[in-house]
C-alpha cells in the first residue's frame, strides 16, 4: 500500500491537492492552509551543510496530501521500528507480547465529535484496573471512513504489549468477556472490540500506519476537506503506557537531517540572505560543492562575476 501510493507523480499530486484545496478554501478560516496544500512541492527550501548547498521541495506535510501523508508515515515507521524490535511478539492468544487490538464505537454524524469521543473512551479504558494489570503499553492510530449509512465510522487500530486478554464470550452464561465488558462500560454499551495476532514487527507497524494514512486515499475530495478540518493539529498516531517500561508514554524526538557525505547538519538558509544568493549562483552555474569556508567561496564568485 505504501509503495503504491508513495509513487504518485508530481502532476497528479498538484491535481489532487488542487481539488482538495478548492473544497477547503470554501471555509474562510482555512484559506491559508488551502493555499499551502495547493502549492505543496511547487517551490524549494535551500539548506547548507559543511560541504555543499542542497535544495528540498517545500512540502505542506498535511495528512490529506497523498505525498506528505506517506512521508509522515515513513518518518513514524523509522522512529518506532527500533522500539518494537525490542519487544516480543505473542505467539498464541495466551502468550505475553505484541498483539493487535481494534476499538470501535457506533457511527457518528460528526467526525470531530466521533474522534473526541473515541479518544475520551480510550483514556477511560486505560484507567481501568483490568487494563492496567494486563497492558504495559503500545501505540494507537486513528482511522475514519464513511459507513453505508453515511455516518462516520471511527476506530482505533492498536498494537498492544500485554498479557492474555479475555475476548471470548462465556459459553455457559453467554456473557461478554471481561475486556468487552470494560470497553462497553467506558462507551455506554456501544463499543466493539477485535483482537488479532501480530506476525512480524515490521508488518504490524506498517499495518497500523497504513490505516493512519489511508484516509488521504479512501475519502472523496469533500470528505478529505472535512477530515482535514476535524483532525487539524490533532495527533492521529500516539504512544501510551507505563513510563517505567522505558519506551511507552514517552515522546520520541525527531532527529535532525544530516548530510550523507560530511555528516553535518543541514541548516536552513533564509531568502534574500547573503548565503541564499550564493546558493542560487551555485545551483545556476552547477558548480562543484563549495569549500567548507564560505569566505573562500564568496571570493571565487567575486572574481568570476565581479
pLDDT digits (tens, 9 = 90+) for 206-246: 888 888 876 667 788 899 999 999 999 888 998 888 765 54
Do residues 64 and 293 lie in contact, with contact meaning Cβ atoms separated by under 8 Å?
no
Q: Which residues pair with 56 in a beta bridge?
A: 45
Which residues does 32 contact at the CB level (< 8 Å), separation at least 6? Answer: none
Structure letter (DSSP) for residue 217 = H
Rounded to 5 degrees, φ, ψ at 235 are: -70, 130
Number of residues in the chain? 306
Rounded to 5 degrees, φ, ψ at 78 are: -60, -35
- Gyration radius of the chain over CA positions: 24
Q: What is the DSSP string of 103-149?
A: EE---BSSHHHHHHHHHHHHHHHHTSHHHHHHEEEEEEEEEEEE-TT
C-alpha to C-alpha distance for 152 and 115, rounded to whole angstroms: 10
pTM of the model: 0.81
Q: In what order do the strands lie in the sheet with 135-146?
A: 192-197, 97-104, 152-162, 135-146, 237-241
Which residues does 258 contact at the CB level (< 8 Å), separation at least 6? Answer: 49, 264, 265, 266
Do residues 200 and 89 lie in contact, with contact meaning Cβ atoms separated by under 8 Å?
yes
CA dihedral 221, 11, 29, 56 (to 10 degrees): 130
pLDDT digits (tens, 9 = 90+) for 61-72: 888 888 888 888
CA angle 265, 270, 274 (to 5 degrees): 100
One digit per residue, the tens of pLDDT, for the chain of length 306 reads 344 344 556 666 778 888 889 999 999 999 999 999 999 888 888 888 877 788 888 888 888 888 888 888 888 888 888 888 888 898 888 889 999 999 999 999 999 999 999 999 999 999 999 999 999 889 999 999 998 899 999 999 999 999 988 876 555 566 778 888 899 999 988 888 888 889 999 999 988 888 887 666 778 889 999 999 999 988 899 888 876 554 555 455 666 778 888 888 888 888 877 778 777 777 776 555 555 555 555 555 455 444
C-alpha to C-alpha distance for 284 and 196, rounded to whole angstroms: 55
Amino acid at each position: 500500500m505504501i509503495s503504491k501510493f508513495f509513487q504518485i507523480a508530481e502532476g497528479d499530486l498538484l491535481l489532487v491537492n488542487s481539488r482538495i484545496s478548492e473544497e477547503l478554501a470554501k471555509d474562510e478560516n482555512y484559506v491559508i492552509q488551502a493555499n499551502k496544500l495547493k502549492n505543496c512541492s511547487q517551490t524549494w527550501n535551500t539548506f547548507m551543510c559543511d560541504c555543499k548547498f542542497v535544495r528540498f521541495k517545500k512540502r505542506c506535510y498535511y495528512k490529506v496530501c497523498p505525498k506528505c501523508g506517506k512521508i509522515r508515515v515513513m518518518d513514524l515507521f523509522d522512529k518506532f521500528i527500533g522500539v518494537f524490535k525490542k519487544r516480543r511478539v505473542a505467539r498464541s492468544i495466551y502468550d505475553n507480547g505484541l498483539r493487535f487490538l481494534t476499538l470501535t464505537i457506533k457511527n457518528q454524524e460528526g467526525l470531530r465529535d466521533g474522534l473526541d469521543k473515541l479518544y475520551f473512551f480510550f483514556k477511560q479504558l486505560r484507567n481501568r484496573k483490568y487494563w492496567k494489570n494486563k497492558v504495559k503499553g503500545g501505540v494507537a492510530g486513528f482511522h475514519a471512513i464513511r459507513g453505508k449509512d453515511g455516518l462516520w465510522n471511527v476506530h482505533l487500530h492498536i498494537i498492544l504489549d500485554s498479557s492474555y486478554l479475555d475476548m471470548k464470550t462465556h459459553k455457559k452464561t453467554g456473557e461478554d468477556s471481561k475486556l468487552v465488558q470494560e470497553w462497553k462500560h467506558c462507551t455506554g454499551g456501544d463499543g466493539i472490540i477485535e483482537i488479532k495476532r501480530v506476525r512480524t514487527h515490521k508488518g504490524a507497524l506498517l499495518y497500523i500506519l497504513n490505516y493512519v494514512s489511508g484516509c488521504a486515499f479512501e475519502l472523496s475530495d469533500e470528505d478529505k476537506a472535512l477530515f482535514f478540518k476535524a483532525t487539524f493539529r490533532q495527533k492521529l498516531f500516539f504512544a501510551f503506557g507505563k513510563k517505567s517500561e522505558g519506551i511507552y508514554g514517552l515522546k520520541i524526538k525527531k532527529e535532525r537531517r544530516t548530510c550523507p557525505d560530511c555528516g553535518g547538519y543541514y541548516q536552513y538558509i533564509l531568502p534574500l540572505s547573503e548565503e541564499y544568493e550564493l546558493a542560487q549562483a551555485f545551483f545556476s552555474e552547477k558548480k562543484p560543492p563549495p569549500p567548507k569556508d564560505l569566505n573562500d567561496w564568496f571570493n571565487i564568485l567575486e572574481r568570476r562575476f565581479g
